[in-house]
Amino acid sequence: MAEHVTIHEVGPRDGLQNEPGVISVADKVALIDLLGTSGLTDIEVGSFVSPKWVPQMANTPDVLTKMTRVAGCTYGVLVPNMRGWDSFAPFAGGPFEVAVFISASEGFSQSNLNCSVAESIVRLTPVVSAAEAAGVPVRGYVSCITDCPFDGPTQPESVAKAVADLRSVAPMQVSLGDTLGRGEPARVATMLDAVLDIAPADQLAGHFHDTGGQALENVSVALEKGLRHFDSAVGGLGGCPYAPGAPGNVATEAVLAHVTALGYTTGVDGDVITQAAALARSMKG
């Protein structure tokens, strides 16, 4: 029997947040609703962050209110601090998952969060506690798993420590982000070996950007190491606004074709994903 790979669609959040202008609520909802018909079970739909710093996500509450909630699908929202939690709290009874994030590098943490990695753990701990108290699942993100735009190459031990620190707060799944898209398969393998010493493969996900054209090779490496969860964005949109020169999440349609060709099942309709990719590419703020 073929093994299953779960695709975590991040287009409506990580994909659209890097657009120069704000995407309308109607357009975001149309994309999310189309994705919801594809068989995806995990879709990241927004974030509760300061509109001053990420204006593209300011309409997240309206998106959550108006989108169609498909049975069996979990919808992820990024909640970096308790101010964000207070804004998210009215939705805590729905099919939502809270995502928290840290960096494996100090330079990126200071640029993105204006604090050290250790301080970022302190900030997110009450968010995790509030989510657990409300019965909301939590997922973690670690950025800069191979390279930092400020510090250069990231040591595998730093990534392992970041994962361990997150999972010491709660036993969450952790998505490992190649934020710059510079990760080479050999370096990704070395990093994964270090992380797998402190977390099981089924509690890890690969989040690869295709800036360097090696995202699918890195997916293959992660599959060989036992990972079965991968983040991707329809149309290959997105990136991090705080990581200069790092556009382009790996495209969902490419990951879907890749893992299917390798013999894995996903439960995702490729025709719908193709339609969603075209819709995502047409969205400009």
Per-residue model confidence as pLDDT tens digits over 121-152: 999 999 999 999 999 999 999 999 999 999 99
Q: Is the pLDDT of residue 19 over 80?
A: no
For the cut 50, the answer to whether the pLDDT of residue 243 exceeds it is no
| Residue 57 confidence (pLDDT) | 92
Strand partners, 247: 239
Q: What is the pLDDT confidence band of residue 109, given thresholds at 50, 70 and 90?
A: very high
Q: Higher-confidence residue: 231 or 244?
A: 231
Query: Residue 245 pLDDT > 50, yes or no?
Result: no
Instruction: Work out the average pLDDT over 213-235.
Output: 97
Identify whether 115 is a catalytic site residue: no
Considering only CA atoms, which of 75, 84, 72 is closest in space to residue 128?
A: 84
Q: Residue 32 and residue 45: Cα distance in Å, rounded? A: 7
135 Rama sector, left if φ>0, alpha if ψ -120 to 50, beta otherwise:
left
Region 168-188: mean pLDDT is 96
Give a three-class secondary structure readout of the chain.
CCCECEEEECHHHHHHHHCCCCCCHHHHHHHHHHHCCCCCCEEEEEECCCCCCCHHHCCHHHHHHHCCCCCCCEEEEECCCHHHHHHHHHHCCCCEEEEEEEECCHHHHHHHHCCCHHHHHHHHHHHHHHHHHHCCCEEEEEECCCEECCCEECCHHHHHHHHHHHHHHCCCEEEEEECCCCCCHHHHHHHHHHHHCCCCHHHEEEEEECCCCCHHHHHHHHHHCCCCEEEEEHHHCCECCCCCCCECECEHHHHHHHHHHCCCECCCCHHHHHHHHHHHHHCCC
Banded pLDDT at 227 (limits 50, 70, 90): very high
pLDDT average, residue stretch 45-60: 91
Given a cut of 80, whether residue 194 has pLDDT beyond it is yes
The stretch 2-7 carries a mean pLDDT of 96
Q: Is the pLDDT of residue 108 over 60?
A: yes
pLDDT tens for 258-275 read 999 999 999 999 999 999
Looking at the chain, the whole-number percentage of residues with pLDDT higher than 90 is 83
The whole-angstrom separation of Cα 250 and Cα 181 is: 9
At 225, give phi and psi (nearest 5°).
-85, -5
Q: What is the CA radius of gyration of the chain?
A: 17
Whole-number pLDDT of residue 284: 59
For the chain, percent of residues with pLDDT exceeding 70: 96
Which residues have C-beta within 8 Å of that of residue 169, sequence separation ≥ 6? 121, 124, 125, 128
pLDDT band for position 241 (cuts 50, 70, 90): very low
What pLDDT sits at residue 239?
A: 54
- Specify the pTM: 0.95
pLDDT for 155-166, tens place per residue?
Answer: 999 999 999 999
Q: What angle do CA 95, 96, 98 make, to 5 degrees?
A: 160
Q: Does domain 6-282 have CATH number 2.30.130.60?
A: no
From 73, 144, 148, 240, the catalytic residue: 240
Give the confidence band of 15 by pLDDT, cuts at 50, 70, 90: confident
Q: Which residues pair with 207 in a beta bridge?
A: 177, 231
Residue 285: per-residue pLDDT: 52
